[in-house]
Structure 1
Amino acid sequence: MAKGDVHTVPHGEGWANKVEGNKQVSNTAATKAEAQKSGREMAVKRDAEHLVHKKDGTIGERNTYPRSRDPRKSRG
């Protein structure tokens, strides 16, 4: 993973986005959907990967922006 990838993670009672390599979260949200939306926007702006974690902390979803950087050849 490249430095600067965006992780949407459980944070306290809500969710947060954290950029890889940073010690603090970039933003927080009450719901996973809200955090996921802002995390995706951050990843698109950074041409980075967006990793969405499950409540237990494991990675549940992974999206690469721009798609041309995606190591997989299929859409997903």
Structure 2
Amino acid sequence: MGKNQHVVPHNNKWAVKGAGNNKATRITNTQKEAIDIAKSISKNQHSELIIHRPNGQIRDKNSYGNDPFPPRG
């Protein structure tokens, strides 16, 4: 399982950062671009995607790996 991917505000732009990384993987102009990139990385690494609001609060989470709480069928 890879590192969880965070979409975070970055100097009036948006950054994709792996959990614990100091440097951004990618910096984009829009949050949507950053989410699309982070989603692709998360799916590839079977990790979690955490999307933050402009104020830094968590807006949404998506798991693309071993979900600890899978949906009941």
Q: Same fold (TM over 0.5)?
A: yes
How many aligned residue pairs are there? Answer: 72
Runs of 5+ consecutive residues of structure 1 not aligned to the other structure: none
Runs of 5+ consecutive residues of structure 2 not aligned to the other structure: none
Cα shift at 1:8: 0.3
Cα shift at 1:72: 2.1
Q: Is 1:38 paired with 2:37?
A: yes
Contact conserved, 1:3 with 1:21, CA < 8 A, in 2? no
Cα shift at 1:64: 0.5
Task: Calculate percent identity across the aligned residue pairs.
Answer: 29
- Give 1:48-59 correspondences, 5 Å limit: 48-59=47-58
Instruction: Flag as ranges the 4+ runs of structure 1 deviating above 3 A.
Output: none
TM-score, normalised with respect to structure 1: 0.85
Match of 1:74 in 2: 71
| RMSD, matched Cα | 1.7
Q: For 2:15 and 2:63, locate their aligned partners in 1 and report how far apart those are by CA, in whole Å.
A: 19
